Amino acid sequence: MVSFKNLDFRVDARRSAPVGALSDNMPHTLLKPHINYWDVIPVSWRSSVVRVVFMKLAATGILCALVSGYSDNNDVSWCCTLAAAVNFIACTHYGIVWAIRAQALPSAFSHLLLGRTNTGNVIPVGPQQPESASSRATETEQPENIAPPVTVPLIANSDNGDRTKALLYAQENAVDSLRFSDWLVT
């Protein structure tokens, strides 16, 4: 039995082909690093969890809206209308959470995304790739036509320079604020 805890999900850029172990043959490990941003948990996993919740809420919200419209019973109609409203508001919030988890925010927020520089540009991954996502995110080499990244630490009073952790912390704050906003309204 494979222990999930002991699996090493980090990309080894030196490895050119899968060698047969489960952790080497998962879909996300076969992708090249520049289209596969993650450190411990793959982005595709994180976004798919939120996507499932979004779709469940959307489906039941649409169902309730339709029942509300077609029901002749006032009590049933009122309950379904409330449920539909609650689900649509939750869907809106989950849609933004989905964008954050998929690292697919609009350009104005792209500096918060993994695989981007502080100015929001895509971190280029050339032949000399760093070995892990963390070191990839701190890479400072840039092509001439891209502005060099700002090198100030992203965590106040911190000099550890762990950019991936800082970005995930910022994303976690954003997701939690969306959750509280959803709970406040619904």
Residue ranges that bind another protein, judged by CB under 8 A: 39-41, 45-46, 49-50, 52-53, 56-57, 59-61, 63-64, 66-67, 71, 73, 75-76, 78-80, 82-84, 86-87, 90, 94, 101, 155-158, 165-166, 168-169, 172-173, 175-177, 179-180, 183-184, 186
Please report how close the Cβ of residue 112 comes to another protein at its closest, in angstroms: 14
Q: Which is nearer to another protein, 15 or 45 (CB)?
A: 45
SS (H, E, C) the chain: CCCHHHCCCCCCCCCCCCCCCHHHHCHHHHCCHHHCCECCCEHHHHHHHHHHHHHHHHHHHHHHHHHHHHCCCHHHHHHHHHHHHHHHHHHHHHHHHHHHHCCCCCHHHHHHCCCECCCCCECCCCCCCCCCHHHHHCCCCCCCCCCCCCCCCCCCCCCCCCHHHHHHHHHHHHHHHHHHHHHHHC
Q: Which is nearer to another protein, 90 or 123 (CB)?
A: 90
Q: Which is nearer to another protein, 81 or 129 (CB)?
A: 81
Please report how close the Cβ of residue 129 comes to another protein at its closest, in angstroms: 21
- Identity of residue 151: T
Please report how close the Cβ of residue 16 comes to another protein at its closest, in angstroms: 26
Please report how close the Cβ of residue 46 comes to another protein at its closest, in angstroms: 6
Please report how close the Cβ of residue 134 comes to another protein at its closest, in angstroms: 11
Q: Which is nearer to another protein, 77 or 129 (CB)?
A: 77
